[in-house]
Amino acid sequence: MRELNYFNKVKSRIYFINDFIKFLFLFSLIFYSIDDFYAQCQVNSGQVSGYVKNDINFDGVMDSGDLPLEGIGITLFDSHQHIVAQTQTGNDGNFVLSGLTDGSTYRLEYSYDDYFVVSGFKDTRFVTAPVCDVNLLLHKPVMYVYDNPDVGMPMFLQGKTNQFTTSGVVLSYKSNFTNTGGISKIAQKSDVGSVWGMAFMKTTQQVLTSAFVKQYAYLGPGGLGAIYASQRTVNGWETSEFMDLLDYGIDLGNMTTTDAQECEYGAQVGKIGLGAIALTDDEKFLYAVNMYKNELIKIPTDPADFDNIEEIPVPNPQCSGGSMHTFALKYYHDKLYVGVTCGAEVSKDSMDNVAYVYEYNPISNNFQEIFSTDYPKGYLHDEPTFDVKTQHWITDIEFTDEGNMIIVLNDRTGQRYCFGPSGRLDTQNGDILLVWNDNGTWRLENNGKAGIYTGSGVGDGEGPGGGEFFGYDYWPSNPALHPETVTGSALILEGTGEVIVPVYDPETKAYSGGVKRFNTSNGALNSVFSIYTHTTFPQMGKASGFGDLDAIYDPLPLEIGDYVWFDADKDGVQDPGESGISGLDISLYDENCNKVGVTKTDTNGYYRVNRNNVDLNNDGNFESPDILKTYYVVIEDNRFSNDELLLNGDTY
């Protein structure tokens, strides 16, 4: 009897019936050997060569947006499993293996860091020297992007904890502001209450949000230290508590009152609790701002290890006439950028209200001040509670496609203002500023210009130097009444050349809330989208109705697949000359043993079950296997019985 074998892969194994696959789709691997990758490559005697790149948009085509991968290991084996050549890809993703025998066939294997996991495709190649187009595309789901994703954004609601419980407070909408799909609800008021921080985990399809103290908006069931997770499922979003930092000894300050309708409540804004949150690019850590202690909180997320949380003090800028207030946080190009405000509470002198941006290197654990400005207006204060004088503090940081920095100044009036149980705020003045990267020196925009970039508000009397780069951040019905309507956060989707900014009164109707899209190279207003219109209860009217934003991407199209071959020497390793078995019937069963997909091995022995042949709901429509679900792959061929396969007169 001849040996029948399967190709085994890291974290994705194929078993006989009654065994199972736990398919956790972390990384996908796509092979491509076409001249489109590098046209007319040069074949050289005795060589095997090719390229390895990161397929950013997961389209299976190597294009200008795909990044070369350096340090990918390449190994060639002969038919006796002896290594005949080894190398690594260079900084351009290219590899060359030399000293080979023309006409000989070799087994080629790739190796990479442990965060690359093969899933759905075979990562062993058989090549005959000489050849120059042995090309490979890898993909990391944390870098998966496509045009027009959803944008997630918290929205604050008034009302006691038993009011408006099912109303949405974490929403999503299309990033190009089309009405397709409308506004969707991710989490409701009873799930999370008042939240500002927002971060999306692509690998687990979770939206993380963090508690925030705001006048008239009650905290959720987790209280002051809560971080919530909204999990995407086939039936929608399901929200639960991700963690409570208070349970792990994190001191976020003490609340003097928990009644959001009392004016004393708003005096706590910016002094206790959590500020912004940010995920590292590999999604292994979540950082959060502790406003009470002016610290960063580093939380391991992959795997979740809440017993090893770190607290990292943020440098004190030695404020004059007031205290430091840390809030803004952005992870960008392997660094964290932290926004700190000197509030000038004591001196009550606007010149002492200074915004700082620090760059933090997680590897060296060092902070560096990279920018500061005394442009922020007013000073932080709590009395009288109904005062509408501007009190700027820095609450968000973004980086543009042009390499510049955007800082967003929230008017704390929009978070603190109080006049009775549900006081209506009639004006506030946040701002959005462009900071030009002048060969490593960060320079604030001046009269609507930032280096080589000229904005849309030159000479309009607003902004540093008498003009502003983003000149359309006003209420279109009456720019003189509301010249600045930004509410404190922003989002840049890389490659769009735009920034999305929440505002109040985005269109002609007053006491409304929505978002605007600005061009980051000239400050032009590209589009407007209203979330709520002409209402002051339970929505916030003009009083900073929204929190932070993040892009929400659909899960990658999942695929389960592998390879069946004749293992002639019964060593469990596919060798040159050991061919695949074609035409075998393969079935996919879900965790309840319902058949959800069927396919056959192709002429080379490969099989794949994916959105082209999987019907999860038995409704006649194909879809991808669900992320984080358990599936069973079964050889369900009538020629296969009692662990033996009868094929063409041979038994395997």
Does one domain contain both 299 and 407? Answer: yes
Does 21 reside within a domain?
no
User: What CA–CA distance (Å, rounded) separates 554 from 144?
Assistant: 9
Q: Hey, how many other C-beta atoms are within 10 angstroms of the C-beta on 536?
A: 19
pLDDT tens, 589-621? 988 999 999 999 988 788 888 888 888 888 888
Residue at 369: amino acid letter: E
**CATH code for position 449:** 2.120.10.30
Whether 381 and 416 have beta carbons less than 8 Å apart is answered as no
Q: Which of 493, 625, 497 is nearest to 551 (CA)?
A: 493
Indicate the residue type of 473: D
CA distances, 487 to each of 5, 432, 453, 544, 547 (Å): 61, 9, 24, 5, 8
Instruction: Say if 59 falls within a structural domain.
Output: yes
- Closest by Cα among 188, 189, 186, 274 to 230: 186
The whole-chain average pLDDT of the chain stands at 89
Which residue(s) pair with 527 in the sheet? Answer: 517
- Do 311 and 412 fall within a single domain? yes
Tens digit of pLDDT for each residue in 308-357? 999 999 999 999 999 999 999 999 999 999 999 999 999 999 999 999 99
Does residue 489 contact residue 548 with C-beta atoms inside 8 Å? yes
Residue 64's pLDDT is 79
Nearest to 632 by CA among 119, 4, 13: 13
Rounded-to-integer distance, Cα 345 and Cα 641, Å: 81
What residues have CB less than 8 Å from 98, skipping those under 6 apart? 46, 47, 85
Q: Are residues 300 and 226 in the same domain?
A: yes
Residue at 14 is within a domain: no
Q: What is the pLDDT of residue 124?
A: 74
Question: Does the pLDDT value for residue 559 go beyond 80?
Answer: no
Alpha-carbon gap, residue 127 to 104, rounded angstroms: 8
Least confident of 34-38, 116-120, 453-457, 628-632: 34-38
Alpha-carbon distance values, 97 to 50, 188, 487 (Å): 9, 57, 57
**16 domain residue, yes or no:** no
Alpha carbon separation from 157 to 194, 241, 338, 363, 386 (Å, rounded):
8, 19, 28, 40, 19
Range of the domain at 90: 26-144
Average the pLDDT over 496-521 and give the result: 97
- Domains of the chain: total: 3
| Boundary (domain end) residue, out of 116, 144, 172 | 144
Do the beta carbons of residue 430 and residue 485 sit within 8 Å? Answer: yes
**Which residue carries 């991808």 as its tokens?**
624
Residues 158 and 71 placed together within one structural domain of the fold: no
Tell me the pLDDT band of 406, cut-offs 50, 70 and 90.
Answer: very high
209 vs 389: CA distance, rounded Å: 30
Give me the mean pLDDT over the 534-553 stretch: 96
Q: What is the CATH number of the domain that holds 647?
A: 2.60.40
Statement: residue 644 has pLDDT above 70: yes
120 with 262, same domain? no
Nearest-angstrom CA–CA distance, 233 and 68: 34
Residue 269: inside a domain: yes
DSSP for 41-60 reads PPP-TT-EEEEEEE-TT-SS
Clarify whether residues 534 and 566 are in a common domain.
no
Lowest mean pLDDT across 107-111, 153-157, 496-500, 526-530:
107-111
Q: 169 and 119, same structural domain? A: no
Higher pLDDT, 23 or 55: 55
Residue at 19 is within a domain: no
Contact 544, 214 (CB under 8 A): yes
Given this model, what pLDDT does residue 37 score? Answer: 42
Q: What is the pLDDT of residue 84?
A: 96
Residue 114's domain is classified under what CATH number? Answer: 2.60.40.10
Q: Is it the case that residue 416 has pLDDT exceeding 80?
A: yes
- Which among 531, 552, 573 is the end of a domain? 552
Question: Are 137 and 203 contained in the same domain?
Answer: no
Between CA 166 and CA 159 the distance in angstroms is: 12
Taking the C-alpha atoms of residue 281 and residue 302, their distance in angstroms, rounded to an integer, is 12
As a whole number of angstroms, the distance between CA 427 and CA 417 comes to 10
Same domain, 232 and 137: no
| CA distance linking residue 69 with residue 66, whole number of Å | 9
Higher pLDDT, 506 or 559: 506
If pLDDT is split at 50, 70 and 90, which confidence band does 62 have? confident
Residue 638 CB partners (closer than 8 Å, separation 6+): 585
The contacts found for 96-100 with CB under 8 angstroms, 24 or more apart, are 96/47, 96/48, 96/49, 97/47, 97/48, 97/49, 98/46, 98/47, 99/46, 100/46, 100/47, 100/48, 100/76, 100/129, 100/130
> Is 80 exceeded by the pLDDT of residue 396?
yes
| Domain identity same for 351 and 463 | yes
328 and 413 belong to one structural domain: yes
- Which has more confidence, 91 or 567? 91
Domain stop point among 144, 178, 208: 144
603/368: higher pLDDT: 368
563 has a pLDDT exceeding 50: yes
User: Do 171 and 125 sit in the same domain of this protein?
Assistant: no
Query: Would residue 20 count as lying in a domain?
Result: no
Helix and strand numbers (H, E) in the chain are 3, 45
Give me the pLDDT at residue 25, please: 30
Cβ count near 300 (within 10 Å)? 15
pLDDT digits (tens, 9 = 90+) for 228-285: 999 998 789 999 999 999 999 999 999 999 999 999 999 999 999 999 999 999 999 9
Exposure class string for 615-652: b at 16+ Cβ within 10 A, else e: bbeeeeeebbbbbebebbbbbebeebeeeebebeeeeb
Beta strands in 245-390 (DSSP E): 274-279, 285-290, 295-300, 310-313, 324-332, 335-342, 354-361, 366-373
Is the pLDDT confidence value at 82 over 50?
yes
- Of 169-173, 355-359, 620-624, least confident by mean pLDDT is 620-624
In a domain, 17, yes or no: no
Mean pLDDT of 189-208: 96
